[in-house]
Structure 1
Amino acid sequence: MDVRLENHLDYFIHDNTAAAGLSPEMLAVAREAFRAGDFNLLAEIYGSQLADLRHPDRSLCLLNADALSRAGRIAEALDSYCTAANLDRLRPNELGSLVDCIAHTLRVKECLKECTDSNGVSEDEHSLDLFSCRLCKGLLIEPTTLECGHTFCKPCIEDDGPIGFKVNVVLSGLLSKWFCAESEARRCWLEGDRMRNEQGFINALEKYNYALEKAPFMCGLLARRAELHMAMNNFRQALQDGDAMCRLTPLSPKAHYVKALALNKAGYNEEALQEYLYCLALKPDWTSVKLETQKLILCSDESSSSQVPAACCSERREVPPQLLDSSDMDCSVCMRLFYEPVTTPCGHTFCMKCLERCLDHNPNCPLCKENITEYLATRGYHKTLLMEEVLQRYLSEELAERSKVYQEEMAELSNLAQEVPIFICTMAFPTIPCPLQVFEPCYRLMIRRSMETGTKQFGMCIADDIKGFADYGCMLEVKDVKFQPDGRSVVDTVGVSRFRVLSHGHRDGYNTAKIEHLEDQKVEGEELAELQKLHDCVYEQASTWFTSLKDNMKNQIVSHFGQLPEKDPDIQGGASGPAWCWWLLAVLPLEKRAQLSILAMTTLRERLSTTRRVLSLVTRKHPPPRRPSSAAASSSSL
């Protein structure tokens, strides 16, 4: 329930019943009628109560007027307001229901309904078209793309000082080409704003006039000029601009507001009231306008101190077809249509993948060579949304073809059965962690592609002086990637499976290979039983050796590779055998070529036998310390 009416009802029921001779029962019924929204019944109750009074009660007259207003009975409501006004001067806040009712009546008029139905586009949809700045609502001027990918007028985002981002070169050129007259008008508009802020009203007016000659449909500029005219007391000229705005955008509450303000300042109160009511019909929750309307109904001499808001343009901008050229939106690196376009702080736009590849090699813009290390550090590669929308709207077929090519490239890169990227670095083993620090440009690209394609895998091989890399290796799976400010990355990987190289290849600077995966040969029966005994024996030998190591060495091994894994319940369960064998191979002091030969073995028996010999050799070279007696142990601990 309306708080004011609730308070009034409480006042009459509890405090004024005896003095006015009012019926508490009827007022209780009135309360229920108000809650139910039956304002005709409410008006009848108040009317009958007023008729029974010897002298009219002002508060009850206001309640009656409110009820009549809400019921749509404007003429009767005005009579009741007049009665209340004769008892004491009306205040603006007492006319809220009347203003609401008149605005609602305008809103449901058939002419407005037909206009809205035929138009079907809201004011915000008009003003915020594809090429509008979301801050000033006008055509983007000096378009500047921020790290988030959104684009604004440079002056709009630099109100509080420079931001370090330069004008988007591609978008600036396209907007000047596609909307030549309006772009020039917007520049003059901004010059006029600067002059006006310096109190140069005459010079500012000249700039506004010139801009409107170039683009007479710019309602925002009409609003600015109207505001300037009012500041210069040129109310007739301000009214002309308000009229022009209402003709261009009849459903814009801001346009009617400008006209109403000009009429009000020029002293045309009745006409101003009508425009204010149109404002509220189009935008019922505009509180400040509602207050002005209530004041004007009371013929108040107070003038509005509100600023004229920016208004919308009259139509949605469309790129002239004869000016549309797909080559204007080609990436300067790949010379193809932008795909996932991103813009650097220096204002240049590239395909996201093209920019990333360039920054792998050099932290400078590929075009202007400006250092963008800070941009690289934040890895703020957010798509330039306006460019993306332009491509989708005006070059949808070309973009679809570009996307198809990109998807085909990704599908090819993700086909590990056809070609596997090879990282030439160190020995890697199945199930064993292999942390990497990636800094070479080719491997930055390789790791990034493994993530983008979703495979998250690549092969690891050691170098070979003749072939480039060894004939055997291990597939690694990326678990996590942490990018460093300088472009390097720390990559956490774990071994997945072994492979043999069938052929060598190259792609975009890194090595590739066609491979076949290796699996251990399975055995059965007595052979399996003997293999199990050998397995258990070598495991005990490995455990004894590891336990015999000095604490500092054990700690280093555990921090890097983890604890010695437990024995697997099924020694032939995996394609590469028990995990502890690979853990042991990774920590034993063996040459890489020796490790490679064991990695290539396809029988668990052969791998266990070789491991046992290595353990025996290591133990003879570095025998474990003799277990001290209890006395000696106590002495050592002391």
Structure 2
Amino acid sequence: MDAGIENHAEYYVHELSSPSATGLCAEMLGVADEACRAGDFDLAAEIYTSQLAELEHTDRGLLLRKADALARGGRIADALDSYCIAANLQALRPDELQILVEVIAHTIRTKEHSDIKTISVASTSESRCFESDEIDEEQNLDLFSCYLCKCLLTEPTSLVCGHTFCKRCLEDDLVKECRSCRLKTNKSPRQFSVDGLRVNVIISGLIGKWFNSESKARRYWSEGEGLWKKMDLSNAILKFNTAIELEPCECRLLARRAELFMEMKNFGQAIKDADTMCRLRPLWPKAHYIKAAAFRSAGRNEEALQEYFCCLALKSDWIAVKLEAQKVHQYLFICKCQSLCGKSPLPAGPSSRIKPSFLLNLWLVVQTSLSLSLSLSLSLSLFFSLLTLFPDNASSCKTLPTFSGARQVPSQLLDSADFECSLCMRLFYEPVTTPCGHTFCLKCLERCLDHNPNCPLCKENLSEYLATRAYNKTLLMEELLQRYFCDELAERRKVHEEEMTELSNLNLEVPIFVCTMAFPTIPCPLHVFEPRYRLMIRRSMETGTKQFGMCIADELKGFADHGCMLEVRDVKFFPDGRSVVDTIGIARFKVLCHGQRDGYHTAQIEYLEDKKVEGEELTELVKLHDSVYDQALGWFTSLKDDMKNQIISHFGHLPVKESDPQGNPNGPAWCWWLLAVLPLENKAQLTILAMNALKDRLVAIRRVLIFVTRKRPR
């Protein structure tokens, strides 16, 4: 490498003696030369940079010295920038790249062993090329693309998790789980079977309406894939041809037809399709890969190698392609091994032209050659040829075009009527798709399944779906609503929130469960099976109140004028929709107005509180309270063990006597415990529940205790 510097010395002396070099500091240049000899190439590069900045006109010789210093310091990318600027001033000669050649040669020698080992371990089959490339394609997916095949959804099928894929993709996918959220099969075994897949009716209709031509092309494409699997290649190509007539710019479709042409040994047509892809999407690595594969199959190895370089310039970590390029290079090594000053390895003709934008990725080409251990003369000759072919464009292509495959829905085809729930006839809110493919508002579907486990439209049995309670929103439908009908959705959400606010008002309209007596502080387990009460319990949970009223029945009014508010502590659902609800009493109320809503009773209420007393009345109240408590404790203690155990298992132990009987607005907890366990009729219990004076309630309880004590057989 030192010999190379000496050979360049005479050239630099000549260059620096030119008029453009006036203003250079010879002393600083001497320091830079000394730094290079000492191995401090970064310092040398800094000096050259500062000297260049002081010049009115860029000095080409100094640029080359800076580039050589950067190259020797291992900063290949920065060195290439300087070489490109020098090439703009005057086309580079092979001898001017001597330092770069020697640096790369040295790097290749030191990296060859480890990098070849990495390539051989990292890739064992050509199929991995496509797997690597697919990762980059995810950024180009839009709402209407299938996550699996990356193409327009065909026969869109929504899983119970809420994600939507092509039906054929799900049928072909060997992993029986959602590829987006990894929902396992044991949560929805039927839908992950081929027989259980149903097309989403709404989404399928929308895609057919919005993207009619592409949708038809996808169907022909899908049919062609099916024929290809059966090795009916002649009919398969006819399907692909029809699809491409409908969508001539669909690059993935062109890619598949090119691969089919290669299987049919029609390499000329495969190259044409690949060339079309490269024109449509010049920055798509897979397009260049298929073109390289077509060239290679046709025996045009030099052009194949060029396309492999394009692949690696766009995707430098594509190891499988590096391996393919290495194989081609090994074939070409003997006939293409030549010096930099020899003929360029680029073949003549239009097919060999490289776009100027490719220059921005030249440093990737050189880095690729290092890890490939390609022929030094071949890789550097390619690099030199590119520089000299396009010296005027090396610094002008600063912005590369970007591909955007996002589909746009024609505004004239947008109609909110396409997004109406068939049950409530309003815009979908929290859309959910059943395993049979029909979509409803979540709340609408739940109400229907309360009454009948069948789909409201096709009547298919949904018992298994009901059992899982996997009512997940269909994400694609939700996203479409947010994107195209955001105002209508906002209004729909407002209506829903107003309904929830109304339902959560526990004074104006309290849901009433008409069943049994309930008391403050006392647990009240419920078995809910009627559709109206399923809805009522679900709403109490959705609004966040987790409360409803409990009243006994009344023949005239429907339910009694007094009751107890219950709070839900836990709900356990059964597969058939029934549930066991664990509640506890929290407050008494008086009914002001009876009503109904969606099949269940409601009421306007006011809460009851005990009137407090003071002075002598309080003293007498405390005395009465303690006396009745002792009487109650004596009665409970006298019961037989089996009866006591039964009461304790259901209601718990008798609460302790409270020091302040007026501390709770509903009175002492032991009073309600006693009322719940005493053998009293509901009407008698209701009378005591309605009392708002603790003294009256204690007197009534004492009478009951006296009665049951006398009545009990000795």
Question: Contact 1:65/1:78 (CA < 8 Å) preserved in 2?
Answer: no
**Deviation string for 1:144-198 (max 9, x for gaps)?**
0000000000111112451513111111111111111111111111111111111
2:194 alignment partner, SS class: coil
**Deviation string for 1:49-97 (max 9, x for gaps)?**
xxxxxxxxxxxxxxx9995868857865655777999x99x88945999
Give the letter for the 2:153 counterpart. Answer: L
**Alignment partner, residue 194 of structure 1:** 226
Matched, 1:149 2:162: yes
1:395 pairs with 480, 485, 490, which one? 485
Matches within 5 A, 1:455-470: 455-470=545-560
Q: Distance in 1 between matches of 2:75 and 2:139?
A: 37
**Alignment partner, residue 367 of structure 1:** 457
Question: Contact 1:68/1:76 (CA < 8 Å) preserved in 2?
Answer: no
Matched, 1:447 2:460: no
**Alignment partner, residue 299 of structure 2:** 267
How many residue pairs are counted as aligned between the two chains?
534
**Alignment partner, residue 610 of structure 2:** 520
Q: Distance in 2 between matches of 1:40 and 1:158?
A: 63
Matched, 1:220 2:234: no
Matches within 5 A, 1:291-330: 291-299=323-331, 315-330=405-420
**Deviation string for 1:457-512 (max 9, x for gaps)?**
11100000111000000000111111110011111111010000011111111111
1:131 pairs with 108, 129, 144, which one? 144
Q: Distance in 2 between matches of 1:437 and 1:84?
A: 78
Matched, 1:587 2:601: no
Give the C-alpha shift of residue 40 in structure 1. Answer: 10
Q: 1:38 to 1:436 in 2, by over 3 A?
A: farther
Give the C-alpha shift of residue 293 in structure 1. Answer: 3.1
Matches within 5 A, 1:366-515: 366-515=456-605
**Deviation string for 1:221-242 (max 9, x for gaps)?**
1111111111122222112222
Give the C-alpha shift of residue 271 in structure 1. Answer: 3.0
Matched, 1:230 2:262: yes
Q: Distance in 1 between matches of 2:269 and 2:114?
A: 30
- Structure 1 window deviating more from structure 2 (66-75 vs 528-537): it is 66-75
1:158 alignment partner, SS class: helix
Give the C-alpha shift of residue 544 in structure 1. Answer: 1.5
Q: Distance in 2 between matches of 1:168 and 1:423?
A: 38
Q: 1:67 to 1:295 in 2, by over 3 A?
A: farther
Give the C-alpha shift of residue 399 in structure 1. Answer: 1.0
Give the letter for the 2:160 counterpart. Answer: E
Q: Distance in 2 between matches of 1:40 and 1:92?
A: 31
Q: Distance in 2 between matches of 1:137 and 1:374?
A: 31
Matched, 1:603 2:693: yes
Matched, 1:181 2:271: no
Matched, 1:577 2:667: yes
Question: Contact 2:41/2:72 (CA < 8 Å) preserved in 1?
Answer: no
**Alignment partner, residue 285 of structure 1:** 317
**Alignment partner, residue 166 of structure 1:** 198
Q: 1:512 to 1:95 in 2, by over 3 A?
A: closer
Q: 1:500 to 1:40 in 2, by over 3 A?
A: same
**Alignment partner, residue 378 of structure 2:** none
Matched, 1:258 2:271: no
Give the letter for the 1:334 counterpart. Answer: C
Q: Distance in 2 between matches of 1:80 and 1:152?
A: 51
Q: Distance in 1 between matches of 2:598 and 2:497?
A: 17
Q: Distance in 1 between matches of 2:203 and 2:41?
A: 55
Q: Distance in 2 between matches of 1:516 and 1:37?
A: 88
Q: Distance in 2 between matches of 1:620 and 1:38?
A: 108
**Deviation string for 1:86-110 (max 9, x for gaps)?**
x99x88945999xxxxxxxxxxxxx
Give the C-alpha shift of residue 243 in structure 1. Answer: 1.8
Q: Distance in 1 between matches of 2:430 and 2:485?
A: 14
Instruction: Say what the alpha-carbon RMSD is for the aligned residues.
Output: 3.0
Question: Contact 1:189/1:221 (CA < 8 Å) preserved in 2?
Answer: yes
Give the letter for the 1:139 counterpart. Answer: L
Question: Contact 2:509/2:604 (CA < 8 Å) preserved in 1?
Answer: yes
Give the letter for the 1:215 counterpart. Answer: E
Q: Distance in 1 between matches of 2:647 and 2:118?
A: 80
Give the letter for the 1:265 counterpart. Answer: S
Q: Distance in 1 between matches of 2:78 and 2:416?
A: 60
Give the C-alpha shift of residue 605 in structure 1. Answer: 0.7
**Deviation string for 1:381-405 (max 9, x for gaps)?**
1001101111111111111111111
Q: Distance in 2 between matches of 1:622 and 1:510?
A: 41
Give the letter for the 2:205 counterpart. Answer: G
**Alignment partner, residue 712 of structure 2:** 622
Question: Contact 1:147/1:345 (CA < 8 Å) preserved in 2?
Answer: yes
Q: Distance in 2 between matches of 1:238 and 1:75?
A: 40
Q: 1:282 to 1:547 in 2, by over 3 A?
A: farther
TM-score, length basis structure 2: 0.70
Matches within 5 A, 1:46-85: 76=99, 78=101
Q: 1:498 to 1:169 in 2, by over 3 A?
A: same
Give the C-alpha shift of residue 417 in structure 1. Answer: 2.0
Ranges in structure 2 where 5+ consecutive residues have no aligned partner: 1-38, 46-70, 81-96, 120-135, 175-192, 334-401
Q: Distance in 1 between matches of 2:679 and 2:43?
A: 94
Question: Contact 2:42/2:73 (CA < 8 Å) preserved in 1?
Answer: no
Q: Distance in 2 between matches of 1:570 and 1:37?
A: 90
